[in-house]
A = this chain, B = another copy of it.
Amino acid sequence: MRRNRSRPTPQQLTTLVQLLKLGAAGSHVQVSSSRLGEALGISQQAASKRLIELERGGLVERAHSGRGLAVRLTGAGLSLGGSFYADLRGAMETGERELVFRGYVFAGLKEGGYYVSLSGYSKPFLDALGFVPYPGTLNLRLTAEAMVEQRRRLRFAKGIEVPGFEDGKRAYGPVKCFKARVGKYQAGVLAIERTHYDDTVLEAVAPVNLRRALRLKEGDECSVEVYLD
């Protein structure tokens, strides 16, 4: 006996997820088998076959439409994708909702500090965190491997989105942040993700100059509580 046929194959599942990413959840999405294949890293022919298989299994509706296909998940497909998503969310969001970081104060690259200093971010930050940040960040260098791993969780946690803005000259993108606490001060942590290198740095903002308020010097140890929601 091969496999319980009532269970979707990994191929079916990943194809379904890809279709969800393409927006085939609510309404029909226009997709060609070559584009789908490209997105999945397989050939056009294999993508075509996968769609046919998904249709056989009652997971998608498939109709020829102009140059390509119009595809939409059926109720069964949505159920499958939805429970897969719900399961994964349960797995990813398990654990503490509050992370304590410990690291060492360092000057940093003033990247976050630059953004916080822009007056256009004041209102968005007030809405997101409940305070207007002091124009400068407290940078912590994370050395312990456990801390770096913990930092990585912030990449994939939802966080709070601070919307971007334009000032006429250029546009400033949205920033993901988290509510936090440093010592007795209400604070926020910025999750600006550019490179994997960033996982050793934690950037905190607060209504006050944290460095001065807590009398922190370069290299001092410091801890930050981050609230995941």
Contact A152:B14 (CB < 8 A) given known A41-B7, A91-B25: no
Instruction: Compute how far the CA of A11 lies from the CA of B3 in the bound complex, rounded to whole angstroms.
Output: 14
Q: Which of A10, A21, A87 has most chain B Cβ within 10 Å?
A: A10
Give which listed residue, B10, B21, B149, contacts A78 with CB less than 8 A.
B149
Q: Is A35 an interface residue (CB 8 A)?
A: no
Q: Is A94 an interface residue (CB 8 A)?
A: yes
Instruction: Compute how far the CA of A20 lies from the CA of B94 in the bound complex, rounded to whole angstroms.
Output: 10
What's the tally of chain A residues with a CB closer than 8 Å to chain B?
Answer: 41
Q: Is A143 an interface residue (CB 8 A)?
A: no
Of residues 22 through 50 on chain A, the ones whose CB sits less than 8 Å from some CB of chain B are 23, 25-26, 41-42
Q: Which residues of B contact A94 (CB under 8 A)?
A: 23, 25
Known: A17-B84, A21-B88, A89-B158. 14 other contacts (CB 8 A): A3-B41, A3-B42, A7-B41, A10-B14, A13-B14, A21-B87, A23-B94, A78-B149, A79-B152, A82-B92, A82-B152, A82-B156, A83-B155, A84-B88
